[in-house]
Amino acid sequence: MLPKIIDLFSGCGGLALGFEKAGFDIVAGIELMPEACKTISYNLSWRYGKKETHICGDITEIEASVFKNSFGDEGCIVIGGPPCQAYSMAGRGKLRSLGEDRVNIKDARGYLYQDFLRFVFELEARAVVMENVPESTNFGGKNIPEIVCTELTKKGYKAYWTILNSADYGVPQVRERVFVVAIKGDEGKEIKLPNPTHRNEVDVLTQHQKRFEGYKQCQFFVEPNGTTDELKPWVTVGDAFSDLPEVFPTADSKYKLVSLNIEYPYKTEAQNEYQELMRTWYGKEGFGVSANAFRRNTRDFPIFERMQQGDNYIAATKIAEELFYEEAKLFGYEKDSEEYISLYNKMVPQYDKDKFENKWKRLDETKPSHTLVAHLAKDTYSHIHPIEPRGITVREAARLQSFPDDFFFDCSMGDAFKQIGNAVPPLLAYGVARTVLNTFEEE
């Protein structure tokens, strides 16, 4: 029998969803945030008429023995992604803004991998999959994946860490993440690296591929399997979006805030393999799709409309100034008059161009998206729709992460964006889960 899955730091369930699709049984888990716990409970338990499996609570206050009866002789695999905020560049910046003493190495979240390992060892997990951001390789000079692999090795596991790009596994997003993979030595097996299913048609190294030579100096780093010309090209934003409902065609369109449980009909039939998968993940295709809510950026809709695909904040401010000059001329305001200055402040974003250059970005439909982050909960300037003059909807964010269309978000728009931005893309998780499955199905 296959080992059961214990899912720690589950978020809204991206990692678990990939393991479920591969054929594993998710029997228990822990998540701190109530909204995320509700999302994972609905999508992994309630939709099947089962009682929820995940505990909503603080892992540091929970004993591993709580899951002893969740599995039998088949044992368990512990999976999860400890919080990344202490490691990530965005998280470090947020901490610095709160005061000089708020440095990342003082952030308790940076040490939660220790609780992850506590559960691994006390539950005698047969295998381990831990996910995090690449910046975890330098946490105040400490390489967390190396530390985790060292601790696992001391306990008799065969362990390694690598960096995988979600775009190589069919996700329409360039998102590089660390994966620690381990299996008990007495299993007499190895968990191989997953094989990519897609490739970059442009021969350009990603941000972290450029660092592989440095990573090779680490004891436990293993370079991921390369791509070949026979693989399918990366899935693009256009591939992900083209069948989704049109919700705001022009800057003059009437804004309507819709509940996340309201379904809109698809704009077209499924137009490619990715759309077909998103529609039929659970086996049956629906007639429409929910979570079509997007941010009300009234000032910025006209700016978005004039932005070209790929434009950033520098281009956006130039457009805003053009719109302002047109408006000021129309009203006949004299330069530097009170009305002129007031209109300028109303129409032109006032962010620091040096700091915000890439905080705004209009998606390019011919490429995968850049990485989604939890800051989507605050605003969606980082991911402006490539065609319509607005930020992306919750469903579009879910598509960019490879959450299927029947994955339901029963929460606020902000909470949904946060959960999606924090998640492991299910298709990437599926790629990892399949190689784990193959290991345990070997005779």
Total-model pTM? 0.94
Closest CA to 181 of 143, 217, 141, 221: 221
Question: Could you give the angle at the alpha carbon of 359 between the alpha carbons of 356 and 361, nearest 5°?
Answer: 125
What are phi and psi for residue 215, nearest 5 degrees?
-60, -30
Q: Tell me which amino acid residue 219 is.
A: Q
> Residue 354: what pLDDT?
81
> Residue 92: what pLDDT?
44
Closest CA to 82 of 63, 65, 107: 107
Alpha helices for 138-249 (secondary structure H): 144-154, 212-215, 237-241
Question: Could you give the angle at the alpha carbon of 264 between the alpha carbons of 48 and 377, nearest 5°?
Answer: 75
User: Sign (positive/negative) of CA torsion 252, 254, 260, 263?
Assistant: negative
> Residue 108: what pLDDT?
63
The residues annotated with a catalytic role in the active site are 84
Give CA–CA dist 45/56, Å, rounded. 14
Neighbouring C-alpha atoms within 13 Å toward the C-beta of 293: 20
| Residue spans of the chain under pLDDT 50 | 92, 94-96, 102-104
Quick check: 418 and 409 in contact, CB under 8 A? no
Give CA–CA dist 259/20, Å, rounded. 28
Neighbouring C-alpha atoms within 13 Å toward the C-beta of 220: 22
> Residue 103: what pLDDT?
47
Per DSSP, what are the bridge partners of residue 362? 384
> Residue 106: what pLDDT?
58
Give 312's DSSP letter: B
The structure tokens listed for 183 are 């299996």
Closest CA to 56 of 101, 86, 11: 11
Name the class of domain 4-232+425-441: alpha beta
